[in-house]
């Protein structure tokens, strides 16, 4: 079975791009150590009026690997420290069409 893709859209308050990016970096550092992690990339909107100014795309070997990573004590402590700081909308997806082999 193919890997799964996490797409996580962030609503970034005006003037909070640096803080949001630092939050992402801290979370990404934790995820990179998790079994099943493949890669991640943070995307920034070109249009200042876009609802989601940052989009995280991460690849995992399986949904189970991702769920285990976000339930790890280090990651749950990280999210508790930042509870309410940022609004984001994560979801796991499988690629069903692609122009890449």
Q: Which pTM does this prediction carry?
A: 0.90
CATH at residue 63: 3.30.70.100
d(CA 54, CA 18): 11
86 — pLDDT class (breaks 50, 70, 90)? confident
Q: Is there a domain that residue 32 lies in?
A: yes
Helices (H), the chain: 17-32, 63-71, 73-81
Buried b (16+ CB within 10 A) or exposed e, 34-60: bebbeebebeebeeeeeebbbbbebbb
Q: Is there a domain that residue 101 lies in?
A: no
Mean pLDDT of the chain: 94
pLDDT at 1 (0 to 100):
66
Instruction: Give how many domains the chain has, as a whole number.
Output: 1
d(CA 55, CA 41): 8
Can you give the residue range of the structural domain that contains 54?
4-93
Asked whether the predicted pLDDT for residue 78 surpasses 80, the reply is: yes
Q: Is there a domain that residue 98 lies in?
A: no
66 — pLDDT class (breaks 50, 70, 90)? very high
pLDDT at 85 (0 to 100):
85
């Amino acid at each position: 079975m193919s890997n799964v893709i996490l797409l996580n859209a962030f609503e970034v308050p005006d003037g909070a791009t640096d803080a949001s990016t630092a939050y992402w970096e801290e979370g990404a550092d934790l995820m990179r150590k998790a079994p099943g992690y493949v890669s991640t990339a943070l995307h920034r909107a070109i249009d200042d009026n876009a609802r989601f100014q940052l989009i995280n795309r991460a690849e995992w070997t399986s949904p189970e690997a991702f769920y285990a990573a976000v339930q790890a004590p280090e990651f749950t402590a990280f999210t508790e420290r930042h509870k309410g700081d940022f609004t984001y909308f994560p979801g796991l997806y499988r690629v069903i069409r692609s122009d890449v082999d």
